[in-house]
Amino acid sequence: MLICGIDEAGRGPLAGPVVVAAVVFEEGNSIELVRDSKKLKAFLREELYDKIIEECEDYKIEIVGNDVIDEMNILKATMLGMERCLTSFKNRDAKIFIDGNYFKLNDSRQKDYDYETVVKGDDKIFEISCASILAKVTRDKLMREHDKKYPLYNFKQHKGYATKEHISNIKKYGLCNLHRKTFCRRILEYTYPIEYKSI
pLDDT digits 0-9 by tens, 76-118: 999 999 999 999 987 678 999 999 999 999 999 999 999 999 9
pTM of the predicted protein model: 0.91
CA distances to 20, 23, 47, 83, 87 from 91, rounded to whole Å, are 19, 12, 27, 14, 9
- Tens of pLDDT, residue by residue over 145-177, are 999 999 999 999 999 999 999 999 999 999 999
CA distances to 34, 36, 120, 125 from 48, rounded to whole Å, are 7, 12, 20, 16
**Mean pLDDT of the residues in the chain:** 93
Residue 4 has pLDDT above 60, yes or no: yes
CA distance 47 to 57: 18
List residues bridging with 176 in a β-sheet: 194
- What is the model's pLDDT at position 189? 63
Which amino acid would we find at residue 20?
V
